[in-house]
Structure 1
Amino acid sequence: MSKQVPAPTSEALAPIVKRVTRRLIPVLLLMYILAFLDRSNLGFAKAAYQTDTGLSDAAYALGAGIFFLGYAALEVPSNILMRRLGAKIWLARIMISWGIVSALMMFAQNEWSFYILRVLLGITEAGFFPGVILYLTYWIPTQFRGRVNGLFYFGAPLAFIFGGPLSGLLLDLDGLGGLQGWQLMFVATGALTVAVGLWAFSYLDNGPADAKWLNASDRSMLIAALDAEEGAKADHSPKGALRALTNPKVLYFCVIYFTIQMSVYGVTFYLPTQIAALVGSKVGLGVGLMTAVPWGIAMIVTFLLSRLADRTGRRRLVAAASLTAAAIGIFGSALTDNPLMGLAALSLGAAGFISVQPVFWTLPTAMLVGAAAAGGIALINSIGSLGGFVAPIAKTWAESSFGPKAGLFLLAFTALLGAVLLYNSHRISKIVDTTPHTQLTEEKVH
């Protein structure tokens, strides 16, 4: 196709990409909201869950993080299977299975059942996020990918804007139907996840060639653009999934993403209780509403910065600045007991570590193609996800060893380290700044 049809201009592609975005992003966004909510609702359940089960802080930290062991172990094989079996069946399978396990969390009444179900949740959710990142490369040319990734990343803030109050409300319904509030929360979110997974199977297409909702001309133009982009990357990408797993550029991005995820989950798992401590209240609907503030700000900043990165082509700089802001926000939240100042600092931190991620993903996807893209994207997310395992444990260790603020200081330093690595990523991966298709991103695309 790419030999017969010349690669279209960005201006010609723009309306097609908008149509694709309107079709795909709402369902992918809803899926990500539920993925993030099923992980992070544990933060809302923390106090009530520990009170009812007698779970210690150390056991909670281990269980919160152990999710990422099974998740990380199966990321690469999951993405390879998705590439072979097709996106719609694989993404739907992931959702349905993790929704079932999430609902079963209502039976986690002791340490071992808690650990087992958290590991199973990680195993069943493995491959969802890198699968979506890979899936978007099937549809969205690189020069538009930052902004589309940014829209997908609204899932994390929206999970807290709407999911936070929902989780708080369910916790306040403690005793309804003979169930604890945290049990109601796990059952409700798990059932909703299964329902959305069934819908996604009937709604998604595997790629542009299957998209009957695009006319033939638009399909040909989009496929031509994507084929030309793949051809441009072929000379620079590792050849095959296995070579991608040992490629220095891919491994460098793994380290960066690890630091990002450390900052994300080191804050996310404890944000509700941190805000509750600032305002002197228990975790319920009121605190759930307050947690929506940082995520609302994060969503606005992500929208603006992902477009700025696409418009200017300065993705590396934008990403490094975002993660630096996250470090400043996390650090600042540890220095104040004032509720307003604390909320402002947490808002800066959340805006930073959410907005950096869609811009970050434009860097490795600009150099990976085919099976290498499936394996490389999954490996980056897999190693990065281990940051979610390490973060709560490292935070707890720092606080027990050096004082109650030391955990946040450690997370801030980790985010700052990631910003430095991001800023210097061109030294490892110059391909990101020099490929012809990436230079297209420096044009103003309206």
Structure 2
Amino acid sequence: MRDDLKQAHVQSAIAKASRRILPLIGLGYLFSFMDRVNIGFAALEMNSDLGFSATVFGFGAGIFFLSFALFEIPSSMLMSRFGARRWLARIMITWGFCATATMFVQTPLQFYTVRFLLGVAEAGYFPVVIYYLAFWFPKSARGRTISYFYLFGPLASVVLGSVSGAMLSMDGIHDLHGWQWLLMLQGLPAVFIGLFIWRFLPDEPAYAEWLTTEERAGLQSILERESAAIVPPARQGIIATMRDPVVIQLALIGALLVGTGITLSVNFPLVLQATTKLNAYEIGFVVSVSGVLAILAMVVAGRISDQSGSRFAPAIACALGSSAGIVLVAMHLSTHITVAAWLLLSCCGWSQALLFAAMWPDLLHPGRLALGGATIGMVSQIGAFAGPYGWGLAKDAPGSFTPALWGLAISTLVTASLFTLLMRNTRVSRRAQPLPIERADAAAPDLGQQPDPA
């Protein structure tokens, strides 16, 4: 009876945390993703208006991820000093202003500079979020939790595809180009989300006034037990973290996975335009549908990984599915097949990314998670920089997207191989501690007054 009561408290705590925290952080991720890749929709008009070549655009799109990578570790270290709530709010407010400032660029140098500053502003967001969620949700609920957070990424594709065509059609209003309206209207909301995070996001469970004493104790107990099951690092510090074999393998996977995903997200509107002759509204519809399907796929992938106790098998399957989708796009068989391949690629790519992120707290000790996550994020963003720039070079040389697509297909096959290698090498790949947690909404949350910030 006592154990049942304790589990009920844990269930209630997780349900409350899911409802209070995930929507706000998720909205931050939605605008984070939109402000990274909406440049792909802006390019439908911006490149011709400003005379940017594919190489100029690819370098500008990719340099964001270079600065993002360079400042990933410093940002995570500063988070430890200022706290998650304050630091996430700072990230969102500054990146909102930088994203909006992109509307004023006129030359390649200005484009590169603003994109670089946007990367500096946004650096650290994702590792800080994963670190933060690891101190709220136990392993047996983590796959679903991160899937609920991660689904805001494909939801961003739905929003982006739904509104971007209309925003581009605002060309000429108040003497602004359509792409300028798009960048402004999709950049400024991040500032307001940042202010809400500052006001309402608790730093940790101990400061969440909407949890009862029993809920806090039950949640902290299971989190401490899971933390103790992970072998602590023998040495701490940046150098020791960068030499950790698990961190190295996760970082290599991240570089390939994120590089491929960002390259496709930024350039796929242009691929559809060139290979299918769809207009901006039709391309937006395809992107929106792919986002909806990706949301469903991610929820399923998160639940499967929680129930099986392993992230690896579904991640490998998703990597192989992504490679198949890219190959079909590269073959240019027909408009219908190209669109269907993009839908497959979107579902597999987002699910693969979700499972990859869920591996971080599963495999890394809490004492290494902050710097380890920042290191993984840093290397991942180097891949995100190299991908779009390499894509531009590969496209400009032969004048076709095909060689670049084949290169990305090979990249996803290598990713699947690295997942397999990590599965064999890691010492922490066991099933989560049993906890009969149903859907996050199984326990009715406290819908009372939001707490004051800690």
Task: State the Cα distance separating 1:238 from its structure 2 match.
Answer: 5.2
Contact 2:7/2:218, CA 8 A, preserved across alignment: no
Question: In the alignment, is residue 249 of structure 1 matched against residue 242 of structure 2?
Answer: no
8 Å Cα contact 2:64/2:385 also seen in 1:
yes
Matches within 5 A, 1:220-239: 220-233=217-230, 235-237=231-233, 239=235
Which of 384, 391, 394 matches 2:390?
394
- Which of 338, 341, 349 aligns to 1:342? It is 338
> Counterpart in 2 of 1:327?
323
CA distance in 2, matches of 1:362, 1:153: 10
Equivalent position of 2:433 in the other structure: 440
> Is the Cα–Cα contact under 8 Å of residues 99 and 190 in structure 1 kept in the other structure?
yes
Instruction: State the partner residue of 1:217.
Output: 214
Deviation of 1:367 (Å): 3.0
1:317 alignment counterpart: 313
Which of the residues 86, 97, 104 maps onto 1:107?
104
Alignment of 1:41-440 (within 5 A): 41-233=38-230, 235-237=231-233, 239-242=235-238, 243-283=240-280, 285-401=281-397, 403-431=400-428, 433-434=429-430, 438-440=431-433
* Pairwise CA distance, 1:270: 1.1
Query: 1:160 touches 1:292 (CA, 8 Å); kept in 2?
Result: yes
Q: Distance in 2 between matches of 1:92 and 1:177?
A: 31
1:317 CA displacement:
0.7
C-alpha distance in 1 between matches for 2:216 and 2:209: 9
Contact in 2 for aligned 1:7/1:228 (Cα 8 Å):
no
Asked if the contact 2:59–2:389 (Cα under 8 Å) also holds between the matched residues in 1, the reply is yes
1:188-244 deviation line (CA, Å, top 9, x unaligned):
1221110111111101000000000111110111111222222222x3445424221
Partner Cα separation in structure 1 for residue 5 and residue 138 of structure 2: 11
Distance apart, 1:351 and its partner CA: 0.9
Cα distance between partner residues in 2 of 1:114 and 1:342 = 31
Q: 2:443 maps to which residue?
A: none
Residue 27 of structure 2 corresponds to residue 30 of structure 1: yes
Matches of 1:7 and 1:137, distance apart in 2: 23
Distance 2:23 2:312 in 1: 27
Quote how far apart the aligned CAs of 1:166 are.
Answer: 1.5
* Residues 1:71 and 1:86: Cα distance change in structure 2 (over 3 Å): same
Please state whether the residue corresponding to 1:162 is helix, strand or coil: helix
How far apart are the structure 1 equivalents of 2:66 and 2:364?
25
- Aligned with 1:205: secondary structure? coil
What is the rounded CA distance, in whole Å, between the counterparts of 1:181 and 1:279 in structure 2? 23
Contact 2:246/2:363 (CA < 8 Å) preserved in 1?
no
What letter is aligned with 2:201? L
Instruction: Report the count of equivalent residues.
Output: 435
239 and 388 in structure 1: CA distance in 2 versus 1, 3 angstrom threshold: same
Asked if 2 retains the 8 angstrom alpha-carbon contact of 1:240 and 1:370, the reply is no
Q: Percent identity?
A: 30
CA shift at 1:147, angstroms?
0.9
In structure 2, how many angstroms separate the alpha carbons of the residues matched to 1:392 and 1:354? 18
Q: Is the 8 A contact 2:275 2:332 kept in 1?
A: no
- Give 1:56 deviation, angstroms: 1.3
Give the 3 Å change call, closer, same or farther, for CA 299–267 of structure 1 in structure 2: same
Aligned counterparts of 2:237 and 2:390: Cα–Cα separation in 1: 32
Where does structure 2 lack aligned partners over 5 or more consecutive residues? 439-454
Counterpart CA distance in 2 for 1:68 and 1:179 is: 28
Contact 1:262/1:411, CA 8 A, preserved across alignment:
no
Local SS of the residue matching 2:274: helix
CA RMSD in angstroms, aligned pairs only: 2.0
* 1:236 and 1:367 in contact (8 A); partners too: no
CA contact (8 A) 1:262 1:415 kept: no
Q: Which amino acid is the alignment partner of residue 25 of structure 2? A: L
State whether residues 55 and 396 of structure 2, in contact with CA within 8 Å, keep that contact through their aligned partners in structure 1. no
CA contact (8 A) 1:59 1:111 kept: yes
1:135 CA drift (Å): 0.8
Q: Which amino acid aligns with 2:77?
A: I
Could you tell me how far 1:9 is from its partner in structure 2? 7.2
- Residue pair 2:24, 2:197 contacting (<8 A) in 1 also: yes
Structure 1, unpaired ranges of 5+: none
> Once the two structures are superposed, what CA deviation does each residue of 1:384-434 show, in whole Å capped at 9, x if it has no partner?
111111112222333345653111111011011101110221233122x14
Q: Distance in 1 between matches of 2:234 and 2:179?
A: 46
Distance 2:348 2:277 in 1: 26
